[in-house]
Structure 1
Amino acid sequence: MFTPNMTGHETDAMNDDSVLLRMLGTHPVDNHVMTGNPDREPDEPSEISTNRESLIPTAGLDGVPAALRVEVEASTTPMSESAPRGGKKPTPPTAAQLIQLVSKQYRFVKDTLNGGLYAVRDGVATRIREKAFGARMSRMAMEAFGAPADRQTKNAVVDYFEDVAGDAIEDVHMRVAEASDGSVWIDNIGPEGLQVRITGEGYKLHKPGEVKEAPLFHRPAYMKPLPVPENGGHPGMLWQVVNVSDLGQQGLAIAWLVYSLITETRSFPICLLEAENGSAKTTASRIMLDLIDPSSIAASGLPGGTRDLAVMSGNVHVLRFDNISTMTYDWQDKFCRISTGDAFTTRELYSDRDLTVFTIKCPVIMTTISTWDTRPDFGQRVLKITLPRIEAERRLRESEVEDRWNEVRGRVFGALLDLAVRVKQIVGTVDSGARYTPDLPRMADFGMVLAAIDEIYPQCHCMDAYRAQQLQLVHDEAEEEPLLVAMENALCFDRGTWTGTSRELLNALEFQLEQAKARTWKSAPVSPRDVTRVLDRYAQVLRAKGWTIEHSLGTGNDSGSRVWTIKRPGE
């Protein structure tokens, strides 16, 4: 999930009454405040009584200068008195009047993670700098005053609440929240925007704000509701519209969907749908997203940079990318950080000092025709789902796919929630110590879900399928790296354990490296530092293939150098 950190404006302005009065739409004129219609003549009696008790909550004015407090209270007109009378043209609200109106309907909290300010109503939080909140203020002004608030007034209101925001801090979630009691909440279900709470005993739908202890959710403007869960379904119904035929691959896809529905704070595997042209990869990705994070933001190519990626992650629970033909090492490193959690800091717009912090940690799904050259770190985070070729006689029109999907959508989602309940039951017994799952993969939390799915559907062999594809990735990576190819053919390892520095290894493999250049497109190492870098990156790959590889700091003539101890498999 993602939350921007809005650090606000310079606090020196809080001590300048005239600046704040202008911000709130009030002006000191001849020692009195002109309110209501700014076109009224100075000697015309004001429609607002300065003796009226302010309707702005007292807490909302904490820290505001006394003189300004009087101005705000004096310029606050109840809605009934601001309504047009006798055919008089409606008067747009001042900032102070809009502040009073907003304060009655919203409370304001800061996100625990990054301190972003949110307006909360009916259990749903909205970032106050979002266009959606500005649109709500316009509707409120129309209903109360008969005239919309202009942009300057709305900006002044937002500035005001940022400046006087209190110390109310809460966790703000998007789509999925893991509660402290072990339950999981999923937000925005069906046209009513319901929420579902999942425990090891079952799941139940609630209206937003119905449960006092429910987590606080943020709903971006692009978010679409999940389907209403229906009974009588089975996860296997998904394959009526998603082109995955292998039983092990089906189990991996279901495990990823369930994991994405019940996980918020742990590491996420990157789901990679791989197939040749015409295998319905894009359709499969869209339908899978429809079960965990439907959005009007469609899958596309990689964004222009890290900031664009961070902004995208603030509007979806699952990042989605389509037809990625290649990926640089830099982008692979970015996705590795997203998988385990990353923070991106940049200068706040229109500010020289303030910073905005984007925190990204979420599931990722992408499609490709063929897997590009991958680094070991990225490959160990990938969950590859291979789609078979679709024969001409089996092809369906898009309308047929949509009809089939709409028919089973609610039942498949209900079946996923039922499966999530059973997975939480099994994982809960492991967490309590009642059972133990040995030999977990690197993505250990996802491995727990794979083990649970295997217990529920033993015929899927999810864990075996996952380990097999990880092992295949290891072999593919080893065959592309010149240093590893040279080590496979080096005679120096035939005499048992070899010990030496990176420079000595480079010299010992000189002949084999020349031969390896013809077998792979990658550049061979040319310096001891290159050797050290490659061995550090591929040490786990070598160990997975049975090699013994360790290192220590040298002494004497080798002081400060890396000394390697290497042994070929079976020696």
Structure 2
Amino acid sequence: MSEEEKNPAREVIANYAQERFRYFRTADGTVYAQRNGQPVARPIRSQGTTGSHRQELMVGMFHDGLGVFNGTAMKEALDLIEALALSQDVQPVHLRVAPGFHGATWLDLGRNDGQSVHIHPGDWDITVPDPHEVRWRRTQLTGELPLPAKDTDGKGIDLLLRLCNFATAETECLALAWLLGCLEPSVPVPAPFLTGPQGAGKSTAGRMLVRIIEGMSGDLRHAPKDEENLIATVAAGWVTALDNLSHMTPDLSDAMCRIVTGAENVKRALFTDGDVFRVGYRRPLLMTGIDVGVIRPDLAERLLPLRLERPSVRRTEAELWAEFEEALPVILGSLLDLAVQVRAVEAQTPTDLRMADFAHLCAQLDTATGLGALAAYRASLDDLNDDVIEGDLLAQTVLKHATELTAGAPERMTSSEWLNTLSRLYSGEECRPMPKGWPTTGKVLSDRLKRLQPTLAARGVLIDWGRTKQGRYIEITRRPAPPAEQQQLG
């Protein structure tokens, strides 16, 4: 066959593809294919053997009687389609949840027919979204959710709380607030840390919370050894759940902070000299474990401790999961009912908490149901501050020094002078040796204090930095006690 006779194969594939699919690019330059009338989008460069766009084209042309084309013709046709799509407007793709028109939110049920949950002001329903409004990205971690039940009258919430072994009512309302946050595509939510004694069902409860959002295929995973593997896991799913954490390295702690509040990673593209690709991510994160040791202050502000207790009656795994799978449509329906109810109310946004969006969600939940989620969230952060202080000798020493300060009167020194002052205070008259990890220079001390600044501020000790003609200084101030507390002290 001559070369002139081979050329039409590329044209046949390209024409077939453009008639049946819509092609667009995302902000990172990836070109996606979206079948006409369907919301699911697949990257055209995917080499996967299950559900790839290349496979879609091959199967479609075979069924439509156009025959089977060789790989060269398919590659050349896709090269042309990709080049044409790069001139189109940038459009986003979403995993599991997506913003819609007019303040609505979509939840991907992971179904082949594209049916999704449309959460809009006043109600929710199940429909296939307009492909121009929502473009779903699917991965191997995208499990299928059952069709949620309507008119549950809140029964699903009671079923969920009965299946989990949450220790207190405060823990229950925080778990509900986190689940509601997972349905919000633009709200960063703190990472629940399920803790409790051995045998409390931490892993089981964690799986249940994840599977409400990710389907029955959702599961817990071991913590990756490095940030690169963690990012790969996070990028492929909506909720990332890490099981049985017993230790948290500084690098893993920093990576978790970025996952919760959002960040972007840039890497060199494979098989190129200078091209790069960007991976942006902000995902709900969940962890389980008995104790992870010392918690860094920046991570503590992004955690949501959920304590569990040992169940009085044990059940087999088969019985428990059969009941959960049967109840999942009702649980999901009740959660959607609650989401509509919560979004319909107005509440004041707390301005003193770092995760302000989640705090506002807790305030809305309280207004809608009277549960007391915001007070529980504040109490959990207070407990985490105690954990940070108990694990940090420098924080304890600064608080000890602050007790000797006059309230409202700042004390200024250079970082080196503060290091000498705090070191002498820690050593005491018995001249104890400095512990491992104690700052060795003024610069190291200043960096440590910046991490501890929010934790110490929660205990009434304010730290600030400034500069005069003589040089830079660090200022420590003990905040005056509020009038009520002063009366109690009096």
> TM-score by structure 1 length?
0.76
Q: What pairs with 1:353-368 in structure 2 (closer than 5 Å)?
A: 353-368=274-289
Partner of 1:285: 206
1:275-317 CA-to-partner distances (Å, cap 9, x unmatched) read 2332222221211111112374632122243333333233211
Please name the residue that 1:34 is paired with. Answer: 5
Report how far residue 108 of structure 1 moved.
0.2
Q: Please tell me whether residue 135 in structure 1 is matched to residue 55 in structure 2.
A: yes
SS in structure 2 at match of 1:378: helix
Contact 2:415 2:445 in 1 (8 A): yes
Structure 2 residue 361 is the aligned partner of structure 1 residue 441: no
Change over 3 Å in CA distance of 1:154–1:255 after alignment to 2 = same
1:150 deviation in Å? Answer: 4.4
- Do the aligned partners of 1:240 and 1:404 also contact (CA within 8 Å) in 2? no
Per the alignment, residue 450 of structure 1 pairs with 362
CA deviation after TM superposition for structure 1 residue 252, in Å: 0.3
Please tell me the residue identity of whatever aligns with 2:459.
K
Residue 59 of structure 1: aligned partner: none
Distance change in 2, residues 1:151/1:302 (3 Å) = farther
The 1:438–1:536 alpha-carbon spacing in structure 2 relative to 1, beyond 3 Å, is closer
Output the amino acid matched with 1:255. Answer: A
1:399 maps to 2:318: yes
In 2, are the aligned partners of 1:189 and 1:228 still within 8 Å (CA)?
no
C-alpha deviation, 1:447, in angstroms:
0.8
1:554-565, aligned counterparts within 5 Å?
Answer: 554-556=468-470, 559=471, 561-565=472-476
* 1:514 aligned partner, one-letter code: S
Residues 196 and 204, structure 1, Cα contact 8 Å, conserved in 2: yes
Q: Secondary structure at the match of 2:274?
A: coil
- Note if contact 2:143-2:218 (Cα within 8 Å) is conserved in structure 1: no
**Structure 1: distance between partners of 2:349 and 2:189:** 19
Q: Quote the Cα distance in structure 2 between the aligned partners of 1:439 and 1:169.
A: 35
- Flag the 1:526–1:342 CA change in 2: closer, same or farther, 3 A: same
- 1:325 equivalenced with 2:246 (yes/no): yes
The Cα shift of 1:495 comes to: 5.8
SS in 1 for 2:271: coil
Out of 83, 98, 113, the position equivalent to 1:163 is: 83
**In the superposition, relative to structure 1, how do residues 27 and 320 fare at CA in structure 2: closer, same or farther (>3 Å)?**
farther
Question: Which one is further off, 223-232 or 373-382?
Answer: 223-232
Contact 2:243 2:288 in 1 (8 A): yes
Q: Which residue of 2 aligns with 1:500?
A: 413
Contact 2:295-2:391 within 8 A present in 1 as well: no
Of the two, which has the highest radius of gyration?
1
- 1:306 partnered with 2:227: yes
Larger mean Cα displacement after TM superposition, 177-186 or 158-167: 158-167
Offset of residue 522 of structure 1: 4.9
> Which structure 1 residue ranges, 5 or more long, are not aligned?
1-25, 36-70, 76-93, 431-435
Q: Distance in 2 between matches of 1:482 and 1:157?
A: 64
User: Does structure 1 retain, via aligned residues, the 8 Å contact 2:22–2:33?
Assistant: yes
Q: Secondary structure at the match of 2:272?
A: coil
Secondary structure of 2:159 counterpart? helix
| Residue 254 (1) aligns with residue 169 (2) | no
Structure 1 residues 289 and 491: CA distance shift in structure 2, 3 A: closer
Q: Report SS of the residue matched to 1:177.
A: strand
1:370: which partner in 2?
Answer: 291
Q: Does residue 420 in structure 1 map to residue 339 in structure 2?
A: yes
Over residues 373-423 of structure 1, what are the superposed CA-to-partner deviations in whole Å (9 max), with x where a residue is unaligned? 2211111011111111234xx111111102211232111111000000011
Give the AA of the match of 1:266: V
CA distance in 1, matches of 2:21, 2:44: 11
Q: What residue in structure 1 maps to residue 115 of structure 2?
A: 194
**2:442, 2:319 → 1: CA distance?**
60
Answer yes or no: is 1:102 the counterpart of 2:13. Answer: no
Q: What SS class does the counterpart of residue 181 from structure 1 fall into?
A: helix
1:327 is displaced (CA, Å) by 1.4
Alignment partner of 1:462 is 2:373: yes
**Do the aligned partners of 2:145 and 2:216 also contact (CA within 8 Å) in 1?**
no
Comparing 308-317 and 406-415, the one that deviates more: 308-317
Distance 1:377 1:145 in 2: 60
Residue 490 of structure 1 deviates from its aligned partner by 3.8
CA contact (8 A) 2:295 2:387 kept: no
**Amino acid corresponding to residue 140 of structure 1 in structure 2:** G
Q: Indicate the residue corresponding to 2:29 in structure 1.
A: 115
Inter-CA distance 195–514: structure 2 relative to 1 (3 Å threshold):
same
Which residue identity is paired with 2:252? Answer: W
SS in 2 for 1:509: helix
CA deviation after TM superposition for structure 1 residue 264, in Å? 1.3
Q: CA 1:314–1:499 in structure 2 vs 1: closer, same or farther (change >3 Å)?
A: closer
Equivalent in the alignment of 1:124: 40
For 2:329 and 2:404, the matched residues in 1 are separated by 59
Q: Name the CA distance, whole Å, in 2 between partners of 1:349 and 1:277.
A: 45
Is contact 2:426-2:432 (8 Å) kept? no
Contact 1:482 1:522 in 2 (8 A): no
2:455 paired with 1:541: yes
- Tell me how far apart the structure 2 counterparts of residues 295 and 117 of structure 1 sit (CA, whole Å): 30
- Root-mean-square deviation over aligned CA pairs: 2.7
Cα contact 1:440–1:448 (8 A) shared by 2 = no
Which string of whole-angstrom CA distances, capped at 9 and with x for unpartnered residues, describes residues 121-178 of structure 1?
A: 1222111122222222231243245754444444333323222323143222221112
Residues 6-47 of structure 1: CA deviation (Å, up to 9, x unaligned): xxxxxxxxxxxxxxxxxxxx964xxxx123xxxxxxxxxxxx
Q: Secondary structure at the match of 2:109?
A: strand
In 2, are the aligned partners of 1:199 and 1:424 still within 8 Å (CA)? no
CA distance in 1, matches of 2:304, 2:246: 17
- Please give the alpha-carbon distance, in whole angstroms, between the structure 2 residues aligned to 1:519 and 1:462: 44
Kindly provide the amino acid, as one letter, of the partner of residue 19 in structure 2. Answer: K
User: In 2 relative to 1, CA 129–521 (structure 1 residues): closer, same or farther, beyond 3 Å?
Assistant: farther
Number of residue pairs matched? 469
Asked if 1:235 corresponds to 2:157, the answer is yes
The runs of at least 4 consecutive aligned structure 1 residues that moved more than 6 Å come to: 516-521
Structure 1 counterpart SS, 2:25: strand
Match of 1:48 in 2: none
- Does the 8 Å contact 2:295/2:388 carry over to 1? yes
- Tell me if structure 1 keeps the 8 A contact 2:62–2:68: yes
Secondary structure, aligned partner of 2:288: strand
Distance in 1 between the 2:45 and 2:140 partners?
Answer: 12
Alpha-carbon shift at residue 218 of structure 1 (Å) = 1.8
State the partner residue of 1:433.
none
Specify whether residues 372 and 491 from structure 1 end up closer, same or farther in structure 2 by C-alpha distance, changes over 3 A only. closer
8 Å Cα contact 1:480/1:520 also seen in 2: no
In structure 2, distance between residues paired with 1:271 and 1:297: 16
Deviation of residue 272 (structure 1)? Answer: 1.5
Instruction: Give ranges in structure 2 of 5+ residues lacking alignment.
Output: none
